[in-house]
Amino acid sequence: MLAAVETRYLIRPVGEADLPLLRGWRARPHVSRWWGDPALEPVEEALIEPNIALWIAELAGRPFAFIQDYDVHAWTPHPFDYLPPGSRGLDVYIGEPELVGLGHGSRLVRQHVDHLFGLGAPAVGIDPHPDNTAAHRAFAKAGFAVASGPLDTPWGRAILMDRRAGIDPLPVREGRARDASWRTGG
């Protein structure tokens, strides 16, 4: 019997030369549907923001996805500021539409989160839109559990999911309530 072969992705930092590729991906309908107008929070701004790290993932030498991870305590209030110091937030999209829905998103997120844990992050948060069922499912497969939501955040409506270092992935804790006191500071 053949053993399953785990896909590993090359995840490399974004450089200036990648900006045209990223602008093209952001304009694709399957991405802009969830990431919004490409003119909002353009990647050029994120590239010079020291609290955000930008990455391109490659599969067999072909760039196919974008990841950003950020310091959840660099913005106050922030939906993930309940996570311990050093925690990272994550955003992701697969830019190439024919590679969506094949399991790459969940495997890629798992690989990058494991890398962040290896660097010392105690937890990682991710905040898909409540209607983005494919994202919820992909992130659950990557080991994330629902922490709260749906709720309104400064970046849009979201479900908050998190994954803690050293804890084996748990089943999705659908409906585990948390209040939204981060919004009022209360």
Ligand X SMILES: CC(C)(COP(=O)(O)OP(=O)(O)OC[C@H]1O[C@@H](n2cnc3c(N)ncnc32)[C@H](O)[C@@H]1OP(=O)(O)O)[C@@H](O)C(=O)NCCC(=O)NCCS
Nearest residue to ligand X, by Cβ distance, number only: 105
Least separation in angstroms between residue 86's CB and ligand X is: 22
Task: Provide the CB-side half-sphere exposure for 98 (13 A, CA).
Answer: 3
Least separation in angstroms between residue 101's CB and ligand X is: 4
Least separation in angstroms between residue 186's CB and ligand X is: 27
Helices within 101-176 (DSSP H only): 104-118, 133-141
Name the residue nearer to ligand X (CB basis): 85 or 103. Answer: 103
Name the residue nearer to ligand X (CB basis): 85 or 174. Answer: 174
Name the residue nearer to ligand X (CB basis): 89 or 121. Answer: 89
Residue 162 three-state SS: strand
Residue 37 three-state SS: coil
Q: Which residues bind ligand X (CB under 6 A)?
A: 30-31, 34, 92-94, 100-106, 128, 132-135, 137-138, 141
Name the residue nearer to ligand X (CB basis): 133 or 181. Answer: 133
- What whole-number distance in Å separates Cα of residue 114 and Cα of residue 161? 16
Q: Which residues pair with 92 in a beta bridge?
A: 67
Least separation in angstroms between residue 46's CB and ligand X is: 15
The whole-angstrom distance between residue 92's C-alpha and the CA centroid of its chain comes to 4
**Range 93-129 burial, b when 16+ CB lie within 10 A, else e:** bbbeeeebeeebbbbbbbbbbeebbeeebebbbbbbb
Name the residue nearer to ligand X (CB basis): 128 or 164. Answer: 128
The closest alpha carbon to 66, from 103, 108, 101, belongs to: 108
Least separation in angstroms between residue 27's CB and ligand X is: 13
